[in-house]
Amino acid sequence: MTEPLIFEYSSASRQGFVADSDARPNLLAEVLRTDELMLPSASELEVVRHYTRLSQQNFSIDTQFYPLGSCTMKYNPRVCNRLAMLPQFLGRHPLGPVEHGQGYLQTMFELQEMLQVATGMAAVSLTPMAGAQGEFAGVAMIRAYHESRGDEARNQIIVPDAAHGTNPATATMCGCEVVEIPTREDGDLDIDRLRAVAGSNTAGIMLTNPSTLGLFERQIEEIAAIIHAAGGLLYYDGANLNAILGKTLPGDMGFDVIHMNLHKTFSTPHGGGGPGSGAVGVTERLKPFLPVPFVQKVDGRYTWATEEQYPQSIGRLSAFMGNAGVLLRAYVYMRMLGRTGMERVSDFAVLNANYLMVCLREAGFEVAFPERRASHEFIVSLKQIARETGVTAMDFAKALLDYGFHAPTTYFPLLVPECLLIEPTESESRRSLDGFVAAMAKIRDAAYSDPDTVKQAPLTMPVRRLDDVHAAKQPDLVWQSAESGQRKG
């Protein structure tokens, strides 16, 4: 059943929530708005019913296996949400005095410390609001570092071709030039190329390790040596931290600055697109440049570190201190894991990925790097099936939905044709993984026996396959009531 738009429920002059007063504001007519504000006018029941029904049209971790590579879709414990929503935490004004915030500040301080331990960094700032903003903070710190040394010419950021799009986009936002390095056949970085480009213009390199290919970069120490020798710094994109938690430290690998996606490794919810948190960690030499505010402990009292105290800080990245409620959820999760729990994260994330990879390979699928150990994710290439049957990675993705599985990441990283990037995470059971393998095998069989049917998928979703070209060619981005005439959106 199609759910209408909330605006289509509307009748004039009605509202769900009953507000307190009908008074008129104490303002001159000339400043007031005179047009009709197009908000829904539905009853509370209609609103509740509408959004409850819409929610049911989503796949989610709470309802489906969701092996979306690079996204670490692990279980989000309900208690993390419950505790972040304690009334005192929800009611705390961000500019409230620290006297009314010691409980909250202590929690943030301890979170900073736990993240330092987990990454081998000397200091952490929690303020970035997602991975990409963490990257921004990191590259801005790298630039500030070079500037502080009068080394202004360094404006190149090196990124592997397998990098996530946020890496090059961040470099540009920071005013840097992007230098792309290819990946070798074996999945590691082309180190000769790196040697060739590293030099006096090098501000730094952005790497994720394991890479977005699901492979641990084995030459990491050599890479670090090359970059450092050239005078550059190493940035660690922590999106894949789930693979190495408790096994190795970015700090030990030679990284100078790192962001962590707490909404991946530390299980804060993705919320259908956000919010996240991209906390950044740095080694000693970048400490003066950390974005403010962060929490410090002075004589047993927790306070905010300010720009006055850290005049070299790159400054603020949000009006207050980032996604505070997300940070609370990450803290609760980390405390519930404790040391052994954290170490197990990578054990089982990696076990699940390798098991799933082996099962798929044994079921006849082509794995992109069969000679390599998978990290927490791995790539299947459907190139041959696509060639032989016309059924593509996208078709597989859609067909999986009909089997009750969310699709893996498709067509990323860009260098493997017809690829699926598959990340099961540690919180899925063997039962889920086996079910996924069975579905993949059935789709493959159908691709050979009846490819047209596969290309029709999905059949069980609220809509059939959507026309993306139409969407982009005739953008309809905002609803217009029939009366208000032609769409403008």
Ligand X SMILES: Cc1ncc(COP(=O)(O)O)c(C=O)c1O
Q: Which residues bind ligand X (CB under 6 A)?
A: 70-71, 130-132, 164, 166, 208, 212, 237, 239, 261, 276, 278
Here's the x/- map for other proteins, 395-424, by CB under 8 A: it reads as --xx--x----xx-x--x------------
Task: Give the position of tokens 């010419």.
Answer: 153
Query: What ranges make up the beta strands (E) of 100-187?
Result: 123-125, 156-160, 177-181
User: Of residues 65, 68, 69, 240, which one binds other proteins by CB under 8 A?
Assistant: 68
User: Of residues 11, 172, 309, 384, which one binds its own copies by CB under 8 A?
Assistant: 11
**Closest CA relative to residue 327, chosen from 365, 374, 279:** 279
Of residues 16-45, those binding other proteins (CB under 8 A): 16-28, 31-45
Question: Could you tell me which residues come within 8 angstroms of residue 162 by beta carbon, excluding any fewer than 6 positions away?
Answer: 183, 211, 212, 213, 413, 414, 415
Of residues 392-421, those binding its own copies (CB under 8 A): 404
Shortest Å distance, C-beta 369 to ligand X? 17
Shortest Å distance, C-beta 287 to other proteins? 18
* Token pair for 159: 């990124």
User: Of residues 229, 430, 448, 453, which one binds other proteins by CB under 8 A?
Assistant: 430
Closer Cβ to ligand X, 239 or 433, answer by number: 239
Binding partner of 1, given ligand X, other proteins, its own copies, none, CB within 5-8 angstroms per partner class: its own copies
User: Of residues 275, 288, 435, 451, which one binds other proteins by CB under 8 A?
Assistant: 275
| Residues counted in the chain | 489
Question: Could you tell me which residues come within 8 angstroms of residue 441 by beta carbon, excluding any fewer than 6 positions away?
Answer: 363, 364
Give the bridge partners for 55, in sequence order. Answer: none
Give the bridge partners for 301, in sequence order. Answer: 298
Task: Give the position of tokens 């540690």.
Answer: 426
Shortest Å distance, C-beta 49 to its own copies? 6
Contact 397, 69 (CB under 8 A): no
Binding partner of 70, given its own copies, other proteins, ligand X, none, CB within 5-8 angstroms per partner class: ligand X
Closer Cβ to its own copies, 277 or 427, answer by number: 427
SS3 label, residue 316: strand
Contact 478, 5 (CB under 8 A): no
**Alpha carbon of residue 411 to chain centroid:** 17
Residue 390 amino acid letter: G
Contact 205, 227 (CB under 8 A): yes
Q: Tell me if 125 contacts its own copies by CB under 8 A.
A: no
Stretch that binds its own copies, among 48-56, 119-127, 297-305, 347-355 (CB under 8 A): 48-56
User: Of residues 199, 221, 284, 301, which one binds other proteins by CB under 8 A?
Assistant: 221
Stretch that binds its own copies, among 22-30, 46-54, 119-127, 135-143 (CB under 8 A): 46-54
Query: Based on the number of CB atoms within 10 Å of its own CB, is 197 exposed (0-12), middle (13-18) or buried (19 or more)?
Result: middle
Q: How far is CA 239 from CA 34, 101, 264, 282, 332, in A?
A: 48, 30, 7, 16, 20
Stretch that binds other proteins, among 137-145, 377-385, 416-424, 443-451 (CB under 8 A): 137-145
Shortest Å distance, C-beta 293 to its own copies? 31
Closer Cβ to its own copies, 161 or 402, answer by number: 402
Contact 184, 215 (CB under 8 A): no
How many residues bind its own copies, per CB under 8 A?
26
Q: Tell me if 442 contacts its own copies by CB under 8 A.
A: no
SS3 label, residue 142: helix
Residue 403 amino acid letter: Y
Of residues 58-77, those binding its own copies (CB under 8 A): 61-64, 75, 77
* Token pair for 136: 């921004």
Binding partner of 366, given its own copies, ligand X, other proteins, none, CB within 5-8 angstroms per partner class: none
Shortest Å distance, C-beta 79 to its own copies? 10
Is the bond leading into 210 cis (omega within 30 degrees of zero)? yes
Q: Tell me if 269 contacts other proteins by CB under 8 A.
A: yes
Q: Tell me if 44 contacts its own copies by CB under 8 A.
A: yes
Number of other residues whose CB lies within 10 A of the CB of residue 300? 7
In whole angstroms, give the CA distance from residue 356 to residue 12. 55
In whole angstroms, give the CA distance from residue 248 to residue 344. 13
Shortest Å distance, C-beta 107 to ligand X? 22
Q: Tell me if 12 contacts its own copies by CB under 8 A.
A: no
Binding partner of 165, given other proteins, ligand X, its own copies, none, CB within 5-8 angstroms per partner class: other proteins
Q: Tell me if 361 contacts other proteins by CB under 8 A.
A: no
User: Of residues 343, 388, 445, 450, which one binds other proteins by CB under 8 A?
Assistant: 343
Q: Tell me if 87 contacts other proteins by CB under 8 A.
A: yes
User: Of residues 271, 285, 363, 384, which one binds other proteins by CB under 8 A?
Assistant: 271
Shortest Å distance, C-beta 41 to ligand X? 34
In whole angstroms, give the CA distance from residue 427 to residue 345. 8
In whole angstroms, give the CA distance from residue 399 to residue 440. 9
Residue 440 amino acid letter: M
Q: Which positions touch its own copies (CB under 8 A)?
A: 1, 9, 11, 18, 43-46, 48-49, 52-53, 56, 61-64, 75, 77-78, 336, 404, 427-429, 431
